[in-house]
Structure 1
Amino acid sequence: MNRTINQLTLIVALFVLAFGFQSCEQKQKEESKKVEKEVTVESEKPEYFLLRPEVEKAYGYSHAVKIGNSIKISGAVSMDDEGNPTAIGDIEQQMKNCYSDLEKILIHYGCTFDDVVVENIFTTNMAQMLEKSGYRAEIYKNHFPAGSWLGVKELALPEFMVEIELEVHKSE
């Protein structure tokens, strides 16, 4: 009888100990999830970047927004710092000017064109764009991103022939 009581006492003690241990583990998991959630929420706060603040404020947009590891970059066009069109009539130079501005934004975020996952190109002259598109191989040396090329009737100003927007994934 004493032996049975001792065995029952031992079983109950092991049960209480196991339950207490499990309860502590559960609390740790919940606290860990709470901390993870706080970190995730904090890192997802949007960070806005203006390449040409006066121009962008006048037109009502931000050139880039970073949320977590994702960066959305508004369409770049061939313009000077005052917002005046440049390389008028020269689609290849306009492309080069767009990529130059896009590179400045990528550098601001510590990225390169290797981090670009989507590139959308809008052009008012698809035939010329296709003819000059080989230049992109100088930009994307390792791989090309996903994306679309769209022929459009017009862009923000009649002198603009090409506009390029990007989506970027910044690796940790």
Structure 2
Amino acid sequence: MKTTKFVTIAIALTVAISIASCNEKTKANTTVETSEPIESAAPDETPEYFMLRPEVEKAYGYSHAVKIGNDIKISGAVSMDNEGNPTAIGDMEQQMKNCYADLEKILNHYGCTFDDVVVENVFTTNMSKFLEVAAYRAEIYKKQFPAGSWLGVTELAVPEFMIEIEMEVHKKN
């Protein structure tokens, strides 16, 4: 019985301290109104869309990149020509290099480099072939590798595509 009372008192005391702590945080976060406007340091939140191959992207229904503030989301790049035809068919390494060449064009459009990439996700229909050539990424990422995932998939948008690479970027001010 004494143990139950002690546990009940301990729980009540913990709850009381937590509530008091929350109240202190609320008081500390209370804003004071002033008559002078405060300049916002927040980046522009209006989405900026970019199309690398406008006709192909319109036909498939996507934008290759969208920038909101300092963050850029880049759709998966595949190995294709300007008309949307697959290139380097059957050649994983060349398809990967073609993906990175397109991704670099998008990064350059926004004044970024691969050093600004914070997430890279690779989708491949042949993981073993990708692993054979994945070391090429060290030529792309000279400072550090981004976070990301490598995913084996059954198929991509067009049967000849063996790899697709998407990215998230944080542009430094």
Scaled by the length of structure 1, the TM-score of the pair is 0.80
Runs of 5+ in structure 1 lacking a partner? 1-24
Stretches of 4+ moved more than 2 A in 1? none
Please provide the CA RMSD for this pair. 1.4
SS at match of 1:82: coil
Residue 121 in structure 1 maps to residue 122 in structure 2: yes
- What displacement does 1:136 show? 0.3
Kindly state the Cα deviation for residue 26 of structure 1 after the two structures are TM-superposed.
Answer: 4.1
| Structure number with higher helix proportion | 1
Correspondence for 1:70? 71
SS of structure 1 residue aligned to 2:143: coil
Deviations 1:14-59 (A, max 9, x none): xxxxxxxxxxx84246x21xx42xx74x700000000000000000
> Matched residues in 2 for 1:112 and 1:28: separation?
42
Larger Rg: 1
TM-superposed CA distance for 1:149, in Å, is: 0.2
Amino acid at match of 2:80: M
Alignment pair present for 1:79 and 2:80: yes
Shift of 1:71: 0.1
| Aligned counterpart, 1:164 | 165
Q: For residue 53 of structure 1, what is the aligned residue in structure 2? A: 54
1:17 alignment counterpart: none
Choose the corresponding residue for 2:34, options 11, 27, 41. 27
1:136 aligned counterpart, secondary structure: helix
Rounded Cα–Cα distance in structure 1 between residues aligned with 2:97 and 2:142: 15
The offset of 1:137, in angstroms, is: 0.4
Matched position secondary structure for 1:75: strand
Unmatched runs of 5 consecutive residues or more in structure 2:
1-31
- Name the CA distance, whole Å, in 2 between partners of 1:27 and 1:141: 48
One-letter identity of the residue aligned with 2:110: Y
Distance 1:60 1:67 in 2: 20
Report the 3-state secondary structure (helix = DSSP H, G, I; strand = E; otherwise coil) of the residue aligned with 2:128.
helix
Could you tell me the percent identity over the aligned residues?
75
